[in-house]
Amino acid sequence: MSDPQDAKPPISMLWESADPAAALTDRFGFVSKGEAADWLSGVLADHWGIRVEACERLVISDANCLAWVVVDGRRMIAKWSMRQAVFARLAAIARLTSWLDERGVPVSAPQPARDGRVQVEVGGFSLGLQNVVDGDLLDIADPAQVQAAGEMLATMHAAMAEYPGAIPAGEPKAPCTQLVGNDFRSANVLWADGRIAAVLDLEEARYRRRVDDLAQAAVLLGTRYHGWSPTPADVRGAFVAAYESVLPLSQHQAAALEDVIEAYLMRMTWSG
């Protein structure tokens, strides 16, 4: 798979302004893109029993590297982390994602390895594999998408409240809290064919009051990777109303929601 001139696959940073080639070496120990692609090809062959036909691109996000690959004519994403302190958490998140997929929540489900694991530790990394979900990032200028997003967050909250497993969160579970995704926004929600095709990246999942998660999502719903700005008030209102059409808030929760939204608006540093 190696390219003698290391011209492929292309590599980029997801949101940082660092040099991606240098980050690949400094953070992950690969001297070239070709070496990284060859390593991944071997791991997927050994642990998933699949042959990589092509590695289309590499993207680095903090301590994670993502690779878009083609396997048997279909596109997949492999994502590996070099931060060993979170390996147990990543495995727990992968199990949660599989559980949500089994219950019909549209997520990008991890593909089990040969031994059944959905997150594999190999070569000092923790790696997962999933299919590419086609779609566009959520557009908050479209009322239909905002409506569907509010309904989807409520659906996820209802499902995650019933999750029988546990997620290492770094802090004790406080009273009146439940498991939530903690990062529901445009960058992590795909829209296709008139519906939400997938909610991506549950790596920030933790235990919070659902009104806290709803408030955060309402304020950050339109944010992607750069140029953050608060969600317009009318869009926030439509989003919350859609949420409550599925999972109503009590009077006390509704009052708390307004307070938390205001707190988010006051403390965020906006770049848009």
**Domain 11-83+110-131 class, CATH top level:** alpha beta
The two domains 11-83+110-131 and 136-267 share their CATH topology (first three levels equal): no
Taking the alpha carbons of 47, 48, 54, 56 in that order, is the dihedral positive or negative?
negative
Domain residue extents for the chain:
11-83+110-131, 136-267
Cβ-based neighbour number of residue 113 at 10 Å: 21
Q: What is the pLDDT along the chain (272 residues), one digit of tens a residue?
A: 444 445 579 999 998 999 999 999 999 999 999 999 999 999 999 999 999 999 999 999 999 999 999 999 999 999 999 999 999 999 999 999 999 999 999 999 999 999 999 999 999 999 999 999 999 999 999 999 999 999 999 999 999 999 999 999 877 788 889 999 999 999 999 999 999 999 999 999 999 999 999 999 999 999 998 778 999 999 999 999 999 999 999 999 999 999 999 999 998 877 66
Distances (CA, A) of 3 to 54, 59, 88: 11, 18, 34
**How far is the C-alpha of 49 from the C-alpha of 145, rounded, in Å?**
38
Report helix, strand or coil for 217. Answer: helix
- pTM recorded for the entire structure: 0.93
Predicted pLDDT at 271: 66
CATH number of 136-267: 3.90.1200.10
Q: How many residues does the chain have?
A: 272
DSSP 110: B
DSSP letters for 38-88: HHHHHHIIIII---EEEEEEEEEETTEEEEEEEETTEEEEEEEE--GGGHH
Predicted pLDDT at 80: 98
Whole-angstrom distance between the N-terminal and C-terminal Cα of the chain? 41
Q: Which residues contact 183 (CB under 8 A, 6 or more apart)?
A: 201, 202, 203, 204
**How far is the C-alpha of 18 from the C-alpha of 60, rounded, in Å?**
10
CB 246 within 8 A of CB 214: no
DSSP 232: P
Among 237, 222, 235, CA closest to 271: 222
**How far is the C-alpha of 192 from the C-alpha of 198, rounded, in Å?**
9
CB 239 within 8 A of CB 150: yes
Distances (CA, A) of 218 to 8, 83, 114, 126, 147: 39, 30, 40, 32, 12
**101-121 pLDDT, tens digit each:** 999 999 999 999 999 999 999
Q: Which residues contact 263 (CB under 8 A, 6 or more apart)?
A: 215
